[in-house]
Amino acid sequence: MRTRLRGDAGQAFPIYIVMVAGLLFLALAFFAVGKAAALRNGSQGAADAAALAAAQKARDDFGTGFYASLPGNTLDVFLGAPFVPPCSEAERLANANEADMTLCVPSNGYLRDTITVEVKGRDPVDSPVLPGSRSKFAEAEATALIEFRCPNPIAVDTTGDGIIDLFTFTCRNGKILEIVPASPPPWESVSRTLFDVRLVDQ
């Protein structure tokens, strides 16, 4: 009777080892998947922050050209012109979020400009159960929109000299701005009303 019990125990031991090994593998696999998801989320956050930062800096840089276009009533030309994306700002935010910027591309369109940023995380997945994971890094992309939301302003030449003296902007957010080209307000006080910046799906 005892011999049979010892035999049963001997047969059960390899099964036990296989079960433990299987559970350990599953645990490592779940950990790897969780780590990969966390790294992906981190890279996406870095891409979002980088794209938004670049778009906000671009909006800040619009002021000089925007105001220069008003006296000659050439605002439409300015709004449709290409712009240089401040990719250094995108790179700064990517770096602050432990990622490297791999792409920064602008796309200009009338009233709607975009900046697309791609980043790569710096930490590999590095899991023993995922072949090649030591060289696998999370990548992400984000696009930020810069949208002019006060189209078709009313331009008034009060002196008849061909130079516009007053612009009245009625914006989609319900706000009304009056800008005198000869003495415009500080750009930072009106830029967020004139231009909306937000993330969009590409």
Residue 156: beta bridge partners?
166
Q: What percent of the chain has pLDDT over 70?
A: 76
Q: Is residue 87 part of a domain?
A: yes
pLDDT at 89 over 80: yes
- Total domain count for the chain? 1
Q: With bands split at pLDDT 50, 70 and 90, how would you rate the model's confidence at 43? A: very high
Q: Identify the helix (H) or strand (E) that includes residue 199.
A: strand 195-200
Looking at residue 5, its pLDDT comes to: 53
Q: Is residue 170 part of a domain?
A: no
User: And the tokens for 197?
Assistant: 């910046």
CB contact at 8 A, 171 and 151: no
Q: What is the pLDDT of residues 97-132, one digit of tens each?
A: 999 999 999 999 889 999 999 999 988 766 555 555
Looking at residue 161, its pLDDT comes to: 85
Q: Is residue 34 part of a domain?
A: yes
Q: With bands split at pLDDT 50, 70 and 90, how would you rate the model's confidence at 133? A: low
Q: Is residue 156 part of a domain?
A: no
Q: How many CB atoms lie within 10 A of CB 99?
A: 30
Q: What is the pLDDT of residues 49-60, one digit of tens each?
A: 999 999 999 999
Instruction: State which residues form the domain around 43.
Output: 2-146
User: And the tokens for 85?
Assistant: 């994306």
Q: What is the pLDDT of residues 74-85, one digit of tens each?
A: 999 999 999 999
pLDDT at 152 over 80: yes
Q: Is residue 125 part of a domain?
A: yes
Looking at residue 1, its pLDDT comes to: 47
Looking at residue 41, its pLDDT comes to: 86
Q: Is residue 80 part of a domain?
A: yes
Looking at residue 145, its pLDDT comes to: 98
Looking at residue 30, its pLDDT comes to: 59
The answer to which of 12-21, 34-43, 157-166 has the lowest mean pLDDT is 12-21
pLDDT at 9 over 60: no
Tell me what the pLDDT averaged over the chain comes to.
Answer: 86
Q: Is residue 121 part of a domain?
A: yes
As a whole number of angstroms, the distance between CA 31 and CA 88 comes to: 35
User: And the tokens for 11?
Assistant: 């047969």
Report, in this order, helix, strand and coil percent for the chain, each rounded to 5: 45, 25, 30
Q: Is residue 66 part of a domain?
A: yes
CB contact at 8 A, 133 and 28: no
Q: What percent of the chain has pLDDT over 90?
A: 63
pTM over the 0.85 mark: no
Q: 163 to each of 40, 68, 80, 142, how far by Cα in Å?
A: 54, 12, 21, 41
Beta strand spans in 55-175 (E): 99-107, 112-124, 137-148, 154-156, 166-170
